[in-house]
Structure 1
Amino acid sequence: MPRTVAINDAGLRIGEDHQNAKYTNGEIEMVLSLRDDGKSYGEIGRLVEMPKSTVRDIIKGRRRCQYPANFKKIKE
């Protein structure tokens, strides 16, 4: 059954649809929300069970910083 995935300008999968993604879009939103609430990288990492360096990279825009340019259907 085909499913719809998010792609960037180059046509590559992004976000939780990327084949190597370890975290869901919901977990990324939780990290950003906790940071907005004033939590430190270490506190966020413990709460969402994620390395502090990954939390930092998400917040600084080094990871998961692309927005979908389009969507496409793929076969699983």
Structure 2
Amino acid sequence: MAKRIVAVNDLGLRIGEDHPRAKLTDADIKQLLQLRGETGWGYKRLASVFEISASQVRRILKGTQRAQLAMEYRVVD
């Protein structure tokens, strides 16, 4: 199995697309933010495009979800 580098927070937990339950990649998040800014699409439309809930879109856009900074990077299997 190939080793890879993952981002972790200050507690050593994986964050972003490296989190085990992440449904969106970091590129998806960037695209979601870009679409919201350029098109003004609402939560429901964005949720439909990215196949997540409207409440999840809201949390991402408000910065309460997927808003942690990487404190370090680790090599994992």
Q: CA RMSD in A?
A: 1.2
Deviation (angstroms), 1:58: 0.5
Q: CA deviation at 1:6?
A: 0.4
**Deviations, residues 25-70 of structure 1 (Å, cap 9, x unaligned):** 1111111111111211122122222211111110011210111111
Give the match for residue 43 of structure 1: 45
Correspondence 1:1-76 to 2 at 5 A? 1-37=2-38, 38-75=40-77
Identity %: 41
Q: Matched residues in 1 for 2:6 and 2:60: separation?
A: 21
Whole-angstrom distance in 2 between the partners of 1:48 and 1:14: 19
Gaps of 5+ in 1: none
Q: Which deviates more from structure 2 when the two are superposed, residues 9-18 or residues 43-52?
A: 43-52
Deviation at 1:19, TM superposition (A): 1.2
Distance 2:8 2:19 in 1: 9
Q: How many residues align?
A: 75
SS of equivalent residue, structure 2 residue 12: coil
Runs of 4+, deviation exceeding 3 Å:
none
